[in-house]
Amino acid sequence: MEADFWHQKWERGELGFHLSEANPLLVQHFSALGLQRGQTVLLPLCGKTRDMVWLLEQGYQVRGAELSQLAVEAFFAELGVTPEVSVCGALTCYQAESIAIYCGDFFSLQADLLGTVDAVYDRAALVALPPDMRSAYTRHLRALSGHAPQLLIAYEYDQLAADGPPFAILPEEVSQHYADSHQLHLLDAAFFVAGPQATIGNQPVAQMQDWRRGFQIRAAHQRCIEFSGTLAGLFFHQAQHGADDDPAAHVRCH
């Protein structure tokens, strides 16, 4: 996935999956991370999401990473705040009270710039990347955040119906990326309702009549939840403290 793809999306205003309020899954489940006010949350590929505003309102320190300068400037303009702008190596840092967003290539972001990361909220990063970039992304994210707990929102649909992004991320793939360092728990699963301008790849969601398929998701200590259609799933990654519990057993998809 070339950087120009995302730059063009922002230049054309193709923001069908941008929400005008905080993601309900974040609001409902963020407390599972057990953070205290004042601790730091990292949002990779953050765009101008209102989720950052919600986190600030809850009293957290927010750190974001975003490729598009247009997105970062739009976020602060909508927030009504003029950030302090500085050059941090290959990145440009936009900083205001309790928040800093690093603009540029995510892989240029280094841990010493961020400081301690207490949690990661991946709302639209892993799902934005094609398969050949995801392993490098998750390795770098773990290098930035250590074993910090994470909330991940992922989508499951028939990948043959559209090219993405956002891409379908099955629970098995989540386990492949994180099972050696974290325990995985499926916290929630819900139908995703897209806005009228939402697209998968370049195809409007409203035109995708062949999306329908059935699947089941089983999570440890939970009943089997059966759906037919598009899924938004929220995963809780907790640092792995022992080998007695097999994290792959927490998420199954058949």
pLDDT tens digits along 42-100: 999 999 999 999 999 999 999 999 999 999 999 999 999 999 999 999 999 999 999 99
CB 153, CB 23: distance < 8 Å: yes
pTM of the model: 0.77
In this model, does residue 243 exceed pLDDT 60? no
Using only the alpha carbons of the chain, give its radius of gyration: 18
Give the orientation angle of helix 3-12 with respect to helix 69-79, to 10 degrees: 40
d(CA 67, CA 234): 24
CB 166, CB 200: distance < 8 Å: yes
pLDDT-based confidence at 211, cuts 50/70/90? very low
d(CA 123, CA 26): 9
pLDDT-based confidence at 129, cuts 50/70/90? very high
